[in-house]
Homo-oligomer: A and B are copies of this chain.
Amino acid sequence: MAQATAPWQLSKKAYHAGVKALRKDLVQMQVQLKASPFKVLLILAGPEGAGRGDLLNTLAGWLDPRGVETFSFHEPTEEERERPLMWRYWRSLPACGRIGVYAGSWYTETLRAEARGKGALTQLAHEAARIRHFEKVLADSGTLLVKLWLQVSKTAQGRRLRALHADPLTAWRVTDEDWQHHQAYARLAKKAGRILAETDRPGAAWTIIDAEDERARDLVVGRLLLGRFRRHRLAQLRLAAPARIRAGAKTAARPLRPAGLRRLQALPLDQELSTEAYEAKREKWLGRLNRAVRATLAAQRSLVFVFEGWDAAGKGGAIRRLTSAIDPRYYSVIPVAKPTDEERQFHYLWRFWRQVPRDGRVAIFDRSWYGRVLVERLEGFCRADEWKRAYREINDFEQQLVEHGAIVLKYWLHVSHDEQLQRFREREGIIYKRHKINAEDWRNRAKRPAYEVAVGDMLALTDTAEAPWHLIPANNKRFARLEVLRSACRQIEEALEG
């Protein structure tokens, strides 16, 4: 943890001179930031009386408010409670080029629970791990995290609280809880120290700000923000150099885990299934799935289906059979295409966090976040370190869904190269299916070997106990559709029993 202090108590005159220079620089910073492919998160934490609110106001005065968003978090809303813990923070994130100032943040609830003595040790460790992961994901994707702990002595805290309390304009800001916290200053400082230590990581380090002198505090924070921004910007420019990106592209077609590729290639694809046998079994499994889904939703849990597969592998058909077993009022199919301009301003997982279903709902993703380790890996839309990191990020994302109570079902629909060719040709022959085939599909087809490697790695690295992959042989469409229903039933029934 770094420490940032002003070397002396600042005179009013020195302060104003300092502010004048700083404001120019901060505004210049915002102009540069606006054109930069990253965002800045300024996280303010610290005990009552350390002046978070005043600092926030000072910063609001210094910065161009058009580039700043201020956040604070109170009790989670119903919609927030019905999703994993971190959903509310994901949805708050500002776009690239902007500054998010967090007066309250993902630390607030954890710190408050600790202060009340409510946080069990295991709970704290768990929450700290969640936070570490969240901040790592952000830092890895280029976000500048400036985490500040405003430090005041117990004496100064008491003085500030009394001053606020004495002034009728600010008396409302001092609550009973604040006085209790003041009494327990030493104990709370120790607890906060532990949380800080647990979440002090490269790319997401805490800086302790001496907040005894208010003017010095504000000036130190302003200068620190500026310095961190400048260093970060240079580092990001180096990272985005074309040579680095080209170097990464070479490794894209080499497997990380050959076992996954072997598993994919060993899958038997040509099952027999008569129309009659299919129809009889389909009715049986649709009925069973319908009951299983209803039981899940009645238990206020959610279902997340992920469909991936080769072009023309029959994802659409499988989804339609699946949805025919679910009350249409409770599911939504989310087709995933190239990210929009707005989505490109965020982490690749952001647009999927946005779509995380509420408790008691079903989300069916027609393609998904796995695009990161498939098309984005192979087409060079991201650097090698980015897609290599994505496996762990994805596992963690899915784990958060499962921890919250969601059941995550993932399907890879596998067809042979020959079968795909035949389907492409058929589609071109059917007028109302012709739009489904375009030049890009043919290009992707030509890259099958590289895609097989990427699919293999995906299967090997993201087939977790919480969110297993179902590898579906799909040369026979009927068989594939049945397999999807069957395995969905089994996974859901198991999850409900477990």
Residue numbers in B under 8 Å from A11 (CB-CB): none
Which of B28, B316, B327, B340 has a CB less than 8 Å from the CB of A64?
B316
One digit per residue, 1 when the CB lies within 8 angstroms of any chain B CB and 0 when it does not, for chain A 84-128 equals 000000000000000000011000000000000000000000000
In this assembly, does A396 line the interface, its C-beta being within 8 Å of a C-beta of chain B? Answer: no
In this assembly, does A60 line the interface, its C-beta being within 8 Å of a C-beta of chain B? Answer: yes
Are B56 and A328 in contact (CB-based, < 8 A)? Answer: yes
Residue numbers in B under 8 Å from A72 (CB-CB): 328-330
Complex: chain B residue closest to A360, CB-CB: B74
* A229-B101 Cα distance, complex, nearest whole Å: 47
In this assembly, does A65 line the interface, its C-beta being within 8 Å of a C-beta of chain B? Answer: yes
Are A60 and B329 in contact (CB-based, < 8 A)? Answer: no
In this assembly, does A276 line the interface, its C-beta being within 8 Å of a C-beta of chain B? Answer: no
Are A103 and B65 in contact (CB-based, < 8 A)? Answer: no
Which of B60, B65, B328 has a CB less than 8 Å from the CB of A60?
B328
Are B366 and A66 in contact (CB-based, < 8 A)? Answer: yes
- A116 CB to nearest chain B CB (Å): 19
In this assembly, does A450 line the interface, its C-beta being within 8 Å of a C-beta of chain B? Answer: no
Copies of this chain present in the complex amount to 2
Residue numbers in B under 8 Å from A290 (CB-CB): 169
One digit per residue, 1 when the CB lies within 8 angstroms of any chain B CB and 0 when it does not, for chain A 293-330 equals 01000000000000000000000100110011001111
One digit per residue, 1 when the CB lies within 8 angstroms of any chain B CB and 0 when it does not, for chain A 324-341 equals 100111111101010011
In this assembly, does A173 line the interface, its C-beta being within 8 Å of a C-beta of chain B? Answer: yes
One digit per residue, 1 when the CB lies within 8 angstroms of any chain B CB and 0 when it does not, for chain A 455-494 equals 0000000000000000000000000000000000000000
One digit per residue, 1 when the CB lies within 8 angstroms of any chain B CB and 0 when it does not, for chain A 424-446 equals 00000001110100000000000
* A419-B24 Cα distance, complex, nearest whole Å: 24
Which of B57, B69, B333 has a CB less than 8 Å from the CB of A332?
B69
* A24-B427 Cα distance, complex, nearest whole Å: 12
In this assembly, does A77 line the interface, its C-beta being within 8 Å of a C-beta of chain B? Answer: yes
In this assembly, does A226 line the interface, its C-beta being within 8 Å of a C-beta of chain B? Answer: no
* A60-B320 Cα distance, complex, nearest whole Å: 7
- A214 CB to nearest chain B CB (Å): 15
Known: A78-B77, A328-B103. A320 touches B53 (CB 8 A): no
* A77-B327 Cα distance, complex, nearest whole Å: 20
Complex: chain B residue closest to A20, CB-CB: B432
In this assembly, does A233 line the interface, its C-beta being within 8 Å of a C-beta of chain B? Answer: no
Chain A residues 135 to 188 lying within 8 A of chain B, measured CB to CB, are 168-169, 172-173
Are B294 and A172 in contact (CB-based, < 8 A)? Answer: yes
Q: Most chain-B CB neighbours within 10 Å: which of A67, A328, A331?
A: A328
Chain A residues 40 to 76 lying within 8 A of chain B, measured CB to CB, are 53, 56-57, 60-61, 64-70, 72, 74
In this assembly, does A130 line the interface, its C-beta being within 8 Å of a C-beta of chain B? Answer: no
Which of B68, B328, B432 has a CB less than 8 Å from the CB of A57?
B328
In this assembly, does A403 line the interface, its C-beta being within 8 Å of a C-beta of chain B? Answer: no
In this assembly, does A342 line the interface, its C-beta being within 8 Å of a C-beta of chain B? Answer: yes
- A4 CB to nearest chain B CB (Å): 22
Residue numbers in B under 8 Å from A435 (CB-CB): 27-28, 31
* A327-B69 Cα distance, complex, nearest whole Å: 14
Residue numbers in B under 8 Å from A340 (CB-CB): 341-342
One digit per residue, 1 when the CB lies within 8 angstroms of any chain B CB and 0 when it does not, for chain A 341-367 equals 110000000000000000000000010
Complex: chain B residue closest to A172, CB-CB: B294
Residue numbers in B under 8 Å from A68 (CB-CB): 333
Are A332 and B66 in contact (CB-based, < 8 A)? Answer: no
In this assembly, does A279 line the interface, its C-beta being within 8 Å of a C-beta of chain B? Answer: no
Which of B24, B65, B333, B342 has a CB less than 8 Å from the CB of A333?
B65
A-B contact pairs, 30 of them (CB 8 A): A24-B432, A27-B433, A28-B431, A28-B435, A56-B328, A57-B323, A57-B328, A60-B323, A60-B324, A65-B333, A65-B335, A66-B333, A66-B335, A66-B337, A66-B366, A67-B335, A68-B333, A70-B329, A72-B329, A77-B77, A77-B79, A78-B79, A168-B287, A169-B290, A172-B294, A173-B327, A340-B341, A341-B341, A341-B342, A342-B342
